[in-house]
Amino acid sequence: MWVLCVIALAARPAAGTDIYRAELEDGTLRFTDSPTHSGYELYMTPKNIPTRRRVNYVTYPLLDSFDGQILASAGRHGVSAALVKAVILAESGMNPNAKSYAGAMGLMQLMPTTASGLGVTDPWDPVQSIDGGTRYLRRMLDTFGGDIRLALAAYNAGPGNVKKYNGVPPFRQTQDYVVKVQDLYHLFRDERPVMVPVTTAPGPQP
């Protein structure tokens, strides 16, 4: 038996729109974001619809400025470049001068004690920050068996809290952080890959 599905969505549905479903007398299923009678039932809510963050140069003017160093550090320590870039964007917005209220510094927001333990002498230096943060991320991945969610939670809230709660800690900030970084990771892995900067060689001088 074939069932025809008719989708009637607004031309420009608002973000976060619920989707409703109704079965017509002939067996046709009709989906819409604007139900016209009580025969429709809720089919899908915004929570069920995957979203993908969009990033651009207006919001993050240095978005791709550190791709070369990200690729180098990621390759050196065996971490996905997309994951490293996602962490950097979530941590500092690609701002090498970023500093948190807690005292975290630089692109990968290293705390002073963490930076010191990683041998990072200048956490404001993009090269040192990216390499140190990538090494720390590698350490968290190794500590939690390669589980990206737990590694990210540990990067944000500390490995002690992940072990204490046997999973992502019940801190709203940490839980939001894990979701955000994973979303950015998929973006940089699948749609907007980290690229080696292209430099144009100077032409012949007259």
Reduced to 3 DSSP states, what percent helix, strand and coil does the chain have, rounded to the nearest 5? 40, 10, 50
Exactly one of 23, 25, 41, 91 is catalytic; name it: 91
Q: Which tokens hold the place of 72?
A: 């180098």
Q: Which amino acid is at 196?
A: V
Give the DSSP letter of residue 46: G
Is 25 marked active-site?
no
2-22 burial by CB neighbour count: b if 16+ within 10 A, else e? eeeeeeeeeeeeeeebbbbbb
| Strands laid side by side in the 41-44 sheet | 5-8, 29-32, 19-23, 41-44
Where in the sequence numbering do the catalytic residues fall?
91
